[in-house]
Chains A and B, each alone.
Chain A
């Protein structure tokens, strides 16, 4: 065993290591992971207090809910149900009704293993949510300032015209799980850039804004501004949908990280160093042996 081997860094490969992520970006990435995880789970907890979504200003307009997670009694045991428009799905065990300790059915929209806290408390869920919402906002603003000031935004995230023309090729490459390596792996590919830009400049600001739209005090900042988004209940619905879009993004993001070299990517987001010499495909295979 080589005592001098740096953490997660085989000596034989140090020549091909490339400093890919600077410390502030790495730090802000992991703060964001923490914030989004807690915001999502405490958000589901808050949703459980009134597990229905509507479009418009009010929840009692006479129009039915867009989505509802509820439970109904049957002869044997309560049944969990998700209603989307006119469709109804039995979700017993996961949504609407889940199993508590000793198998007793619990009638919560989202099960306790998905929520923070893991028991029903709207008050504490709100405390978690708002604390990490602030951390998320500060972190996001710091990222924007840093990425503009350091050139990260222009140099690493903004796609060039040439790249945009190659978008079709990039889609084909992704579908075939062909990932760039060597020199090309030093940069984000065009789909990756567009996905990051969508998340950073559209989804994350919009979900924060829709959160603010639910605050009756902030609603008075410009009287009626919430109606630009359809009303307070619409804002709540949009907030919920974006939360799940972010989950979808994270799943794809983690999937891409795994198939293009889990340890290489993980190391580069922890230590900053990315190995351009390692073959991603064979590297991935190597990990599974």
Chain B
């Protein structure tokens, strides 16, 4: 046997071994290793830092025309909350529903739909981008979140806005959906609390009576079935501590700009 042939065989053998290791579930085992996961998720941290650094805070999401509207606006996730309290409110047309605004505010609020409707209004036709890959275009009408936050007099140390929702995610009585955003998004002019979709009251399938629109973020940030807004300086004290339902137990990233 020639020397270089045996060298080649050893080399080929090692390459095959390495590939098999990688191929036969090596990536899956790596996926479950905590340190490796931390390393992987640094990619999304880098995306957040870069996007925050490069983009103007008030950069506007694209707005569309009536002719671009999707024929039906797809409902994803919860389409009818399995929550008796919510169903009771829905049965009475949400007349008794109130949005609580609390946490780190000087002036906690309890707002009815009628009160929200007489506040300043914004209507926008925007594209909703789901983390799954699809997009739909809808016309949203609501009150700018900035207006509600200013009315509540946010404490200067508060850093995040947390949205508590009425939909239990894993059957009746289970933990309810929640999400959170930072102040760049909270005070963005296109961030609204929407009570209308395509000129009609927000349907239950799309988050009635009130949902968040935070247009430069993926769909899972757009919390539906809002019941309470909480101002906090740290997300670690809330539920699983990662700032949202999908973030807590399912590996999704808090930053949903990409």
Known: A7-B7, A58-B136. A221 touches B71 (CB 8 A): no
**A199-241 contact mask (Cβ, 8 Å, vs B): 1 or 0:** 0000000000000101111111101101100001100100000
Q: Are A61 and B47 in contact (CB under 8 A)?
A: no
Query: Is B11 in contact with chain A by the CB < 8 A criterion?
Result: yes
Q: Are B55 and A217 in contact (CB under 8 A)?
A: yes
Q: Which residues of chain A come closer than 8 Å to B85, judged between CB atoms? A: none
Q: Are B136 and A60 in contact (CB under 8 A)?
A: yes
In the A-B complex, list the 8 residue pairs whose CB atoms are closest, starting with the nearest.
A217-B257, A131-B43, A123-B251, A60-B70, A130-B43, A215-B258, A50-B133, A59-B134
Which of A5, A47, A130 is within 8 Å of B4, CB to CB?
A: A5
Q: Are A60 and B71 in contact (CB under 8 A)?
A: yes
Q: Are A215 and B62 in contact (CB under 8 A)?
A: no
Query: Is B200 in contact with chain A by the CB < 8 A criterion?
Result: no
Q: Which residues of chain A come closer than 8 Å to B39, judged between CB atoms? A: 131
Q: Are B11 and A8 in contact (CB under 8 A)?
A: yes
Q: Which residues of chain B come closer than 8 Å to A219, judged between CB atoms? A: 61-62, 216
- In Å, the complex CA distance between A132 and B10 comes to 29
Q: Are B62 and A223 in contact (CB under 8 A)?
A: yes
Q: Which of B123-131, B201-209, B229-237 contacts A (4 or more CB under 8 A)?
A: B123-131
Q: Are A133 and B43 in contact (CB under 8 A)?
A: yes
Chain A residue with the shortest CB-CB distance to B219: A216
Q: Which of A20-28, A69-77, A112-120 contacts B (4 or more CB under 8 A)?
A: A112-120
- In Å, the complex CA distance between A23 and B6 comes to 25
- In Å, the complex CA distance between A46 and B2 comes to 47
Query: Is B119 in contact with chain A by the CB < 8 A criterion?
Result: no
Query: Is A2 in contact with chain B by the CB < 8 A criterion?
Result: yes
For residue A80, give the distance in angstroms from its CB to the closest CB of chain B: 19
Q: Are A122 and B131 in contact (CB under 8 A)?
A: yes
Known interface pairs A57-B127, A60-B134, A117-B31; 6 further A-B residue pairs with C-beta atoms within 8 A, sorted by A's residue number: A7-B7, A57-B64, A124-B40, A127-B40, A215-B258, A232-B135
Query: Is A18 in contact with chain B by the CB < 8 A criterion?
Result: no
For residue B164, give the distance in angstroms from its CB to the closest CB of chain A: 22
Q: Are B7 and A127 in contact (CB under 8 A)?
A: no
Query: Is B253 in contact with chain A by the CB < 8 A criterion?
Result: yes
Q: Which residues of chain B come closer than 8 Å to A220, judged between CB atoms? A: 55, 59-62, 216
For residue A69, give the distance in angstroms from its CB to the closest CB of chain B: 13
Supply 20 A–B pairs (Cβ within 8 Å), ascending by A. A1-B1, A2-B3, A41-B27, A47-B133, A57-B137, A59-B70, A60-B74, A118-B25, A121-B251, A123-B246, A127-B253, A134-B46, A214-B258, A217-B51, A220-B55, A220-B216, A221-B59, A224-B62, A232-B127, A263-B8
**B1-36 contact mask (Cβ, 8 Å, vs A): 1 or 0:** 111101110010000000000000101100100000
Which of A5, A50, A131 is within 8 Å of B132, CB to CB?
A: A50
- In Å, the complex CA distance between A118 and B71 comes to 36
Which of B27, B137, B253 is within 8 Å of A126, CB to CB?
A: B253
Query: Is B82 in contact with chain A by the CB < 8 A criterion?
Result: no
Q: Which residues of chain A come closer than 8 Å to B25, judged between CB atoms? A: 118
Query: Is A85 in contact with chain B by the CB < 8 A criterion?
Result: no
Query: Is B217 in contact with chain A by the CB < 8 A criterion?
Result: yes
**B104-147 contact mask (Cβ, 8 Å, vs A): 1 or 0:** 00000000000000000000000101111111110000000000
**A101-142 contact mask (Cβ, 8 Å, vs B): 1 or 0:** 000000000000000111101111011101111100000000
For residue B151, give the distance in angstroms from its CB to the closest CB of chain A: 27
Q: Which of A7, A60, A217, A236 has the largest count of B CB atoms less than 10 A from its CB?
A: A217
Q: Which residues of chain A come closer than 8 Å to B136, judged between CB atoms? A: 58-60
* Interface positions of A from 58 to 110, Cβ below 8 Å from B: 58-62
- In Å, the complex CA distance between A134 and B134 comes to 23
Query: Is B42 in contact with chain A by the CB < 8 A criterion?
Result: yes
Which of A47, A49, A119, A218 is within 8 Å of B55, CB to CB?
A: A218
- In Å, the complex CA distance between A160 and B250 comes to 54
Q: Which residues of chain A come closer than 8 Å to B239, judged between CB atoms? A: none
Known: A131-B39, A214-B129. A57 touches B250 (CB 8 A): no
Q: Are A223 and B42 in contact (CB under 8 A)?
A: no
Q: Which residues of chain B come closer than 8 Å to A224, judged between CB atoms? A: 62
Q: Are A130 and B47 in contact (CB under 8 A)?
A: yes
For residue A221, give the distance in angstroms from its CB to the closest CB of chain B: 6
- In Å, the complex CA distance between A217 and B184 comes to 12
Known: A118-B28, A123-B252, A134-B46. A57 touches B135 (CB 8 A): yes
For residue B193, give the distance in angstroms from its CB to the closest CB of chain A: 19
Q: Are A49 and B215 in contact (CB under 8 A)?
A: no
Query: Is B174 in contact with chain A by the CB < 8 A criterion?
Result: no
Q: Are A218 and B258 in contact (CB under 8 A)?
A: yes
- In Å, the complex CA distance between A115 and B8 comes to 30
Query: Is A158 in contact with chain B by the CB < 8 A criterion?
Result: no
Chain B residue with the shortest CB-CB distance to A38: B27
Which of B7, B54, B59 is within 8 Å of A8, CB to CB?
A: B7
